[in-house]
Structure 1
């Protein structure tokens, strides 16, 4: 049986557009205009992916996302007109798996749903190449390629950190998780080494050091990689 995608949005045109695009792609869909209707349906069915708008008329979308992630264990993709980085970070910290900003192309939503069902780690385990936000990371030869085809080399150590981010996009990665995944003794020396690697990666990705777009620091918690990643 094909995967079930629920669509929660108070705009009928968006619900219809998403439902048609997902149905054509082979998914089953259920649509809802209010959170109360959606929550009632959850008692009868278990969706594979939930598309949730934050601007709901009868409920705060962020609290609903948090509940879905914690209690239902559902894959949650936020669809919102809120484009501020802090809104995206908050949604992802509360447990959302992805964040799509309105307006959007329906084909993009279909691609994101497929990617989440496939699982980034599963795809990453069989690939050494990842594309994200105009960049291509070639791990087999340790190089970052931009849209113009210009390559910038990165070190093995920098590659370990980059791969960790690309395997878990839009998820909070704590210092403890980094230490566990990358090895090395926890403490000030490890933290300093991570700071240096991340700073170098930001430079190679041409990030603004005062306001990086891709690798965001969550002070006191860790990092979130906000890029849209596809392993090829």
Structure 2
């Protein structure tokens, strides 16, 4: 199995050095970037497994960059920012980030969060089915798109794709918040719960679900969620 590649985008040299050293010591391969333009140019050549993105960039709006990465890259996206307001964290998650770490941070926590986000051995995309059909929809996880019955393609983020795959792997079975935490990684608490709410809401919107009476992703209040579709893999 290849060594996971972590891309670090931050305009502060000290932050880049601290993160790169901690991640390399933990066995990851890293590349660092001070500006969004050089980071975006590198993405045209290769896709990292994880992107660590600071929001306070000198040449690009950080949140807009996160949103584009979520739609186009397929990488796990973790925001690292000094913006500590709850609304900043919520906005980052709504735009497609997988996690949000507030500066100042403990490098060991960053390493732990990345390890939690990366898939376990044997569950890499190339070792799993990447295409599923359900209720007139097709999900292609190698490209992170949903395809409707009229062949229209709707992009989904890496974070949304992880949640959708979890549902499609266990249709018509209750999935609790604790099971989602175990399967998807993260830190228990309000931030994780909010992230799941945001991703499920976005998936429902993309699946043309009625938010007041969804047909596919049902909320079982106080227990979790059930996906009611008929799923065929392959």
Q: What is the TM-score of this pair, normalised by structure 2?
A: 0.57
The correspondence of residues 142-157 of structure 1 with structure 2, limited to 5 A, is none
Residue number in structure 1 paired with 2:107: 106
Using the alignment, how far apart are the partners of 2:176 and 2:199 within structure 1? Answer: 11
What do residues 89-117 of structure 1 show as CA deviations (whole Å, max 9, x unaligned)? Answer: 11111111110000000010011111111
Count how many residue pairs are aligned between Structure 1 and Structure 2: 152
The correspondence of residues 165-180 of structure 1 with structure 2, limited to 5 A, is 166=181, 167=183, 169=192, 170-171=195-196, 172-174=198-200
**Alignment RMSD:** 3.1
The Cα shift of 1:43 comes to 1.1
Residue number in structure 2 paired with 1:34: 35
Using the alignment, how far apart are the partners of 2:65 and 2:35 within structure 1? Answer: 11
Q: What is the TM-score of this pair, normalised by structure 1?
A: 0.58
Q: 1:98 to 1:176 in 2, by over 3 A?
A: closer
What do residues 44-102 of structure 1 show as CA deviations (whole Å, max 9, x unaligned)? Answer: 12111000000000000111111111011111000000111111111111111110000
**For structure 1, which runs of at least 5 residues remain unmatched after alignment?**
123-158, 179-185, 202-232
Q: 1:177 to 1:45 in 2, by over 3 A?
A: closer
Higher mean C-alpha deviation, range 53-62 or range 169-178: 169-178
**For structure 2, which runs of at least 5 residues remain unmatched after alignment?**
124-173, 185-191, 205-211, 225-234
The Cα shift of 1:187 comes to 4.3
Residue number in structure 2 paired with 1:163: 178
Residue number in structure 2 paired with 1:143: none
Larger CA Rg, structure 1 vs 2: 1
Q: 1:103 to 1:75 in 2, by over 3 A?
A: same
Using the alignment, how far apart are the partners of 2:200 and 2:29 within structure 1? Answer: 36
Residue number in structure 2 paired with 1:137: none
What do residues 180-214 of structure 1 show as CA deviations (whole Å, max 9, x unaligned)? Answer: xxxxxx849xxxx855x38xx9xxxxxxxxxxxxx
